[in-house]
Amino acid sequence: DQQVKQNSPSLSVQEGRISILNCDYTNSMFDYFLWYKKYPAEGPTFLISISSIKDKNEDGRFTVFLNKSAKHLSLHIVPSQPGDSAVYFCAARESGTYKYIFGTGTRLKVLA
Amino acid sequence: DSGVTQTPKHLITATGQRVTLRCSPRSGDLSVYWYQQSLDQGLQFLIQYYNGEERAKGNILERFSAQQFPDLHSELNLSSLELGDSALYFCASSVHGRGTATDTQYFGPGTRLTVL
């Protein structure tokens, strides 16, 4: 049972446009959400996070939105750059634990 | 370079065998996490250690075990290997083991295990 789902395995966007990556979850006990970026042959690197008490967090070109009622979060990248081409994972932490559940990832390709 | 090192980078072995994967955390990090990434799967959390003690357990098989040593490096032992154990195994570390934005998990480059 996949508690964190990234239903789009891949996404292509033109350079300069907005990239929107989506993530759905089923467990209402998740209290913290993160996005990681992964380049080939490297481990994931932390990008941005959001606590369940917030609905938006912004860091430069990256913004994460959380809709708790829909159990949905999204990552917006504006403007998209070719260097953003990578696999993006969303992850969620179970409240009161140190367990992190990851989605299957979305491969973003930013076209120059 | 995240500062987390994993050895070996690649490992090829046969079914039924046992292997040990090693992880050295970033200097100053007390917590180590292990993840498994199979083909087309997300990262599956296996286990977390903090300062030598097991702190959280995920979907880790009984054939797998791990430990964190006094010098804070960690080893993941996989035994009675099956074809389905072929995967990328990542280790991550953080200072306090919270894994939040202020206590980020830093991932190593992974060990690719192939079971033939």
Which pLDDT band, with edges at 50, 70 and 90, does A87 fall under? very high
pLDDT of A1: 67
Percent of chain B with pLDDT over 70: 99
The mean pLDDT values, 10 residues at a time, for chain B of 116 residues are 94 97 96 91 91 92 96 97 96 87 89 96
Tell me the chain A residues in contact with residue B33 when contact means C-beta distances shorter than 8 Å: 100
In a mutational test of the B interface, the residue from A98, A101, A106, A107 whose CB has the highest number of chain B CBs within 10 Å is A98
pLDDT of B68: 98
Q: Please enumerate in sequence order all residues whose Cβ is within 8 A of that of A14, keeping only pairs 6 or more positions apart, or say none.
A: A80, A110, A111
pLDDT of B1: 83
> Is residue A4 scored above 90 in pLDDT?
yes
